[in-house]
Structure 1
Amino acid sequence: MSDENRRIAEELIEAIGGKENIDTAAHCATRLRLMVKDKEKIDQEKVEEIDKVKGAFYNSGQYQVIFGTGTVNRIHEQVIGLGVSESSKGEQKEEVKQQGNKFQRLLRTFGDIFVPIIPVLVATGLFMGFRGLVTQPEILALFGLTPDSISDNFLLYTNVLTDTAFAFLPALIAWSTFRVFGGSPVIGIVLGLMLVNPALPNAYDVGSGDAEPLRFLEFIPVVGYQGSVIPAFIAGFLGAKLEKWLRNRIPEALDLILTPFLTLLIMITAALFVLGPIFSAVEAGIMAGASFVLELPFGLSGLIIGGLHQVIVITGVHHLFNLFEIRLLADNGLNPFNALITAGIAAQGGAALAVGLKTKSAKLKALALPSSLSAFLGITEPAIFGVNLRYGKPFLMGLAGGAAGGFFAALFNLEATGMAITVIPGILLYIGELNTLLLYGITNIIAIGVAFALTWAFGYSDKQLNN
């Protein structure tokens, strides 16, 4: 096996233009990430023909070759053994940060900030789903119980599980933003906690009319920022910059005392009285625009989002949707966006599955079938870059399947209790109600079935192998 992996590594290095064209190599869970000097020297067709390669593409300053879980570790080891310099993902990120236009760098920054937060939000969504499941009358009846049998203490315990992450969301965002921009994360946490201090009127209570904002100087309204994303991000960004600026100017003997003191004093004042009101309005405008699309009648939102989401994923702009989903969950604990993007993801798996079952090519079959399974687990990169985009029409048929599944989900207002997991793992976000779980299953069946049928009938023929 090691000899085979070494041969693959040698072929890959040659197809990329030799060791002299590769600066460094790193890897993530599924992809080998190579920093190359001249992307014009890459022989894309030759790379894609190498055994075990499930797709390859140039993105965000890196040439990324998809091998899949486990395999990528072994290929990376062989590439390094052949003399290519190794770097960590963090070191490559520093190189990548200098590449691309301002918008691309902004998107990467959003990803760096929100990705570390997502696991706790996924856990919160699962807690909400399980709470809904165990409190259903039908489930309780199996144990001879009724909803009235549930103690208040148990409900309080579940509230601790489901409410904590979103109650302190600005603290998570400010912490991560400080971390990304080189500030002290602990100062970011405290700054974020100040934004949701219980002494301030709760933003949700003010919004519902149950509380009044504080009035400073008789005209500046001040409230807490529960559930806010952009104000916490801006406060974290400026706070990290301010801390670094102060640290370079305050004498070392006073740094420990004055730097955190001045950073927190200046930033919480600016956040409560200036930044918060301004960027809360900006965030409200963004949410209003996104909600307008999401609330289009007659299933139109599902057609649009389910049909186009994977196109957006290819461009990398999909990181912006994290902000939208987080706000949806923070506001009401439900996320209708998840079902629509699930349809798009499942459909690309359905298209790759059709290619894998229809082709007589053993190599393509070995690539397409595992890629479809990966998509059904929520990861579409192998299916999109390794199969569907390569032959063109399967990708388009996948978009059609996504639109069909999204249309159905939108018609029934299907909503998840969390974010970031889709298709098969996404089931856990819909188990709170049996009817919702059934609708989620039908959404995936429609998306996969339409994409599979269209790809089988019109989207792929082995004649394309020779083109």
Structure 2
Amino acid sequence: MSVNIQIAKDLIEAVGGKSNIVSVAHCATRLRVMVSDKEQIDHEKVENTEKVKGAFYNAGQYQIILGTGTVNKIYEEVTKLGVDASSKSEQATAAAKESGKLQRAIRTFGDVFVPIIPALVATGLFMGVRGLVMQEQVLALFGMTPDDISANFLLFTQILTDTAFIFLPALVAWSTFRVFGGSPIIGIVLGLMLVSPALPNAWGVAGGEVDPIMFFGSIPVVGYQGSVLPAFIAGIVGALLEKQIRKRVPDALDLILTPFLTLLIMITLALFAIGPVFHLMEELILNATVVILDWPFGISGFLIGFLNQIIVISGVHHVFNMLEIQLLENLGYNPYNAIVTCAAAGQAGAALAVGLKTKSKKLKALAFPSSLSAFLGITEPAIFGVNLRYGKPFLMALIGGGIGGFFASILSLKATGMAITVIPGALLYLDGQLLPYLMVNLIAAGTAFGLTWMFGFSDKMLEKK
């Protein structure tokens, strides 16, 4: 019998057997189990199962942290043993019924923006590579200067780096329609209407190069290139409107009337009401974010670096995706990324210290992969499997993240993208910032490591545990 089969059997037994399992799904690092009665879960047995890095119950799901790769294999064996499988989205819908309003709202926000992130990650990497290629020192290696770069090559790089942001409202509206039960294709068309070439370009209006179209003498209408909130709100209202129209339209006319009426009503609302109001709100949120990030003496860097992983535990960190998108779109860079990268590096450093200091083979086998995972930007195994479990290492990791974030703020590091951190995140700093980026990561990880080694962990904690 393979190790993974035995682990699957042990986990099924530990959560109360097949009769207690409603369904099972998985994400990048966690096995997510919906159970009938959480009182039947033997939490200690789960955490002592081989390859398990931690477990917790949250929002209707019992989440078992196994790490990337491993979770896919264990999930496969669990389903082979006769446990009902469901998609992550199906489980999220079921779990939402057990959650409070705030948790449901935050989860919905994440469901909308998380699918968009891969496109924005790719765009950020393209920006980083372009920044690297355009550096004079790099061009000099090939006997070239920036003046030697052809206009066609620059146009090609613009296609790579600008497309996702130009059509961002289409991506947001598509994802919002999908989450709120509308037709995603109608969402895409609505989003594309918001950036139609027939409308004055948002960036041109902002730069004073073109004027907005004035309707009724007082309502300015512009395109919404790069905007998030107008498309998000229009997507919510549009999806709900589509469902209401579909209930009232005869089946024979549904294919014609439902999309026609939905798009007609929604583009009118989006251009004349939703767009102007929520674009203004978007600007206010962005300005407030910039003010906070510009606090002097690295204060914002320390606070964000210290608090970020606490926010990750609470599950509300997806709320900040919109802010990062807006920073990239409006400023052309993302100062938030370097700070939260230090928070992740702090968790990695603390877990590494625990792994090196402990004499427990089991804890070593847990701490080292968890630390590596955190260095790759996925901190849940380190948080739940090691640092938070013993308490003090987590605090030391927060301090390390805060100090690293302080230096990231002082050095004004600016990422070209979002959503990747620590080692992979180096690709976002190829435009001449790589050395300071590596330095702040080393400061965060080193501080957390040193504090954990000296004050944060000893094997006596294992005895108490």
**Structure 1 length-normalised TM:** 0.96
Q: Which residue of 2 aligns with 1:112?
A: 111
Structure 2 distance, partners of 1:71, 1:250, is 49
Matched length: 464
Structure 2 distance, partners of 1:466, 1:15, is 23
Q: Which residue of 2 aligns with 1:47?
A: 46
1:51-450 matched pairs, under 5 angstroms: 51-433=50-432, 436-450=433-447
SS at match of 2:296: coil
Deviation at 1:376, TM superposition (A): 0.3
Runs of 4+ residues deviating >6 angstroms: none
Instruction: Please identify, of 359-368 and 126-135, the stretch whose mean Cα deviation from structure 2 is larger.
Output: 126-135
Structure 2 distance, partners of 1:49, 1:428, is 37
Q: Which residue of 2 aligns with 1:466?
A: 463
Q: Which of 453, 457, 461 in structure 2 is aligned with 1:456?
A: 453
Alpha-carbon contact 1:54-1:386 (below 8 Å) kept: yes
Structure 1 distance, partners of 2:288, 2:61, is 33
Deviation at 1:157, TM superposition (A): 0.9
Q: Deviations over 1:191-242 (max 9, x none)?
A: 1111111222222222232222221111111111122111100101111111
Structure 1 distance, partners of 2:70, 2:158, is 42
Aligned letter for 2:266?
Answer: M
Alpha-carbon contact 1:23-1:34 (below 8 Å) kept: yes
Structure 2 distance, partners of 1:148, 1:86, is 58
Q: Deviations over 1:273-322 (max 9, x none)?
A: 11111111222222232222211111111101111100001001101100
**Structure 2 length-normalised TM:** 0.97
The 3 A distance-change label for structure 1 pair 39 and 292 is farther
SS at match of 1:334: coil
Sequence identity, in percent?
68
Deviation at 1:257, TM superposition (A): 1.9
Instruction: Please identify, of 9-18 and 61-70, the stretch whose mean Cα deviation from structure 2 is larger.
Output: 9-18
SS at match of 1:432: coil
SS at match of 2:25: strand
Structure 1 distance, partners of 2:175, 2:145, is 43
Structure 1 distance, partners of 2:77, 2:142, is 56
Structure 2 distance, partners of 1:376, 1:239, is 41
Aligned letter for 2:438?
Answer: G
Q: Which residue of 2 aligns with 1:23?
A: 22
Deviation at 1:68, TM superposition (A): 2.1
Deviation at 1:72, TM superposition (A): 2.3
Structure 2 distance, partners of 1:143, 1:290, is 41
Which segments of 5 or more consecutive residues in structure 1 lack a partner in the other structure? Answer: none
SS at match of 2:248: coil
Alpha-carbon contact 1:336-1:413 (below 8 Å) kept: yes
Q: Deviations over 1:310-363 (max 9, x none)?
A: 000100110110000001111132100000000000110000000000000000
SS at match of 2:23: strand
Q: Deviations over 1:75-106 (max 9, x none)?
A: 22333344432223233223123220111111
Deviation at 1:52, TM superposition (A): 1.2
Aligned letter for 2:458?
Answer: S
Structure 1 distance, partners of 2:409, 2:37, is 45
SS at match of 1:298: helix
Structure 2 distance, partners of 1:266, 1:275, is 12
Alpha-carbon contact 1:340-1:409 (below 8 Å) kept: yes
> Over aligned residue pairs, what C-alpha RMSD do you find?
1.4
Alpha-carbon contact 1:339-1:414 (below 8 Å) kept: yes
SS at match of 1:116: helix
Q: Deviations over 1:124-180 (max 9, x none)?
A: 001111111111111111111111100111111111111110011101100111111
Aligned letter for 2:203?
Answer: Y
Structure 1 distance, partners of 2:154, 2:100, is 49
SS at match of 1:8: helix
Alpha-carbon contact 1:99-1:105 (below 8 Å) kept: no
Structure 1 distance, partners of 2:6, 2:123, is 45
Structure 2 distance, partners of 1:278, 1:198, is 22
Deviation at 1:36, TM superposition (A): 1.1
Structure 2 distance, partners of 1:339, 1:185, is 34
Structure 2 distance, partners of 1:136, 1:384, is 38
Alpha-carbon contact 1:303-1:403 (below 8 Å) kept: yes
SS at match of 2:266: helix
Q: Deviations over 1:98-130 (max 9, x none)?
A: 220111111111111111111110110011111
The 3 A distance-change label for structure 1 pair 81 and 151 is closer
